[in-house]
Structure 1
Amino acid sequence: MSDQFDDSDALAQEKHRQRMAAKKKIVDERIARAQEERGVLILLKGNGKGKSSSAFGTMARALGHGQRAAVIQFIKGRKATGEYLFFKDHPRVDFHVMGHGFTWETQDRDQDIAAAQQAWALAERLLQDEHYDFLLFDELSYMIKYGYLDATRIAAALSTRLRNQNVMITGRTMATELQEIADTISVVQDERHAFRLGIKAQAGIEY
């Protein structure tokens, strides 16, 4: 009986080894083909929660490798977010909160447009600044959706940025102009949200 189990276990181990060897071959071939070295443009979109959290997690990864980063938050600003409180004093992060809160709170279109344009003017300078390895434009996509910023201008600046800069942009919807030039696009789906269950937004989770 034990011999049968030993044979069965050995057979399973061999099948597993063969599957992993085949998978490794495919992965190695893909790695061998990916020889271009340059920065990437990553878009995080969708209705689900976690887009900004993912982007800030990626920024933390970049900082772990000694890189220098800059953040522009285009909407948040009504209250200090946890990410701002954590990163604002980091020696290799420049953190800019250019918004005045969510647009439905300010109810001042002219103020929102001015803030968005000021923020994007700064973004254009950062995209040509060799001191920055990683740029995060948090909730930039809303500025295009609301008509505060021009998608063509933004796409042009992103396309002509420094070659080795990595850029991440978050927001529920992404303009076609940005999606056409992006290297990576990830979608965060919304299947359930605590707010719709009547649970109050809380520090450390929503902001």
Structure 2
Amino acid sequence: MDDVTARHNEKMRKLKKARDRLMATKTEKKGLIVVHTGNGKGKSSSGFGMIMRCIGHGIPCAVVQFIKGTWTTGEKELLRNRFAEECKFVVSGEGFTWETQDREADVAAAEAGWEQAKALILDPEIQFVLLDEINIALRYDYLDIDTVVDFLLHEKPEMTHVVLTGRNAKPELIEIADLVTEMTLVKHPFKDGIVAQKGVEF
């Protein structure tokens, strides 16, 4: 064994020992409140990746999709057509806010979606719920942030995971979340005149 390999192996042994000590202190389990926000791409993509992970583990899950409405996405097609039993999929809204041009209808759709979301979160058979783009509904005050936060803190079952995606997550939501990730925009093809690509954006 050469010196480089020996040094590497010794470093990895020390790292494993430290990691094992750290992991021995992590014993608590709970249903997490997870927020994916920021201007970068990947918020919904990450949420749907977690949905596929749940399906792979046999964990019953559900999606409530706010704002996007009737927009055809690959994840919606896949989950509704091939995994309908494993994952319930609810669409709330008639499209992006700049398309609908109807605040009253947008508020009504968001409120209807939230009612369905609460029912799914409270369903004892479901352990993971993705609230896709709910942060947009909260940003425009289609939903009351205090009502959402109160429900997540006091009514969400202890072991149910809830993921909330969308730009501009409200500070009140970030405050109560267990895990918050902000996607940072570095570069995007849209700025070079390239339209959304199937399989990449939707």
Q: Same fold by TM-score, threshold 0.5 exceeded? A: yes
SS at match of 2:88: strand
- Which amino acid is 1:128 matched to? L
Deviations 1:90-126 (A, max 9, x none): 1111000101100010000000000001111111112
Q: CA deviation at 1:22?
A: 1.9
Correspondences of 1:91-170 after superposition (within 5 Å): 91-160=85-154, 161-170=156-165
CA distance in 2, matches of 1:180, 1:111: 29
2:174 counterpart of 1:179: yes
Q: CA deviation at 1:140?
A: 0.4
Deviations 1:146-165 (A, max 9, x none): 01111111111112311111
Where structure 2 has 5 or more consecutive residues not aligned to the other structure, the ranges are none
Residue of structure 2 equivalent to 1:48:
40
Aligned Cα root-mean-square deviation (Å): 1.2
Residue of structure 1 equivalent to 2:186:
191
Equivalent in 57, 64, 69 of residue 65 of structure 1? 57
- Which amino acid is 1:167 matched to? V
Q: CA deviation at 1:81?
A: 1.1
Q: CA deviation at 1:189?
A: 0.9
Residue of structure 2 equivalent to 1:201:
196
Select the structure of larger CA radius of gyration.
1
Work out whether residues 155 and 178 of structure 1, in 8 Å CA contact, stay in contact via their aligned partners in 2.
Answer: yes
SS at match of 1:29: helix
TM-score under structure 2 normalisation?
0.94
Work out whether residues 34 and 180 of structure 2, in 8 Å CA contact, stay in contact via their aligned partners in 1.
Answer: yes
Where structure 1 has 5 or more consecutive residues not aligned to the other structure, the ranges are 1-8
CA distance in 1, matches of 2:6, 2:33: 41
Work out whether residues 78 and 102 of structure 1, in 8 Å CA contact, stay in contact via their aligned partners in 2.
Answer: no
SS at match of 2:122: coil
CA distance in 2, matches of 1:153, 1:51: 23
CA distance in 2, matches of 1:63, 1:199: 33
Structure 1: 4+ residue segments shifted above 4 A: none
- Which amino acid is 1:105 matched to? E
Q: CA deviation at 1:29?
A: 1.8
Matched residue count: 199
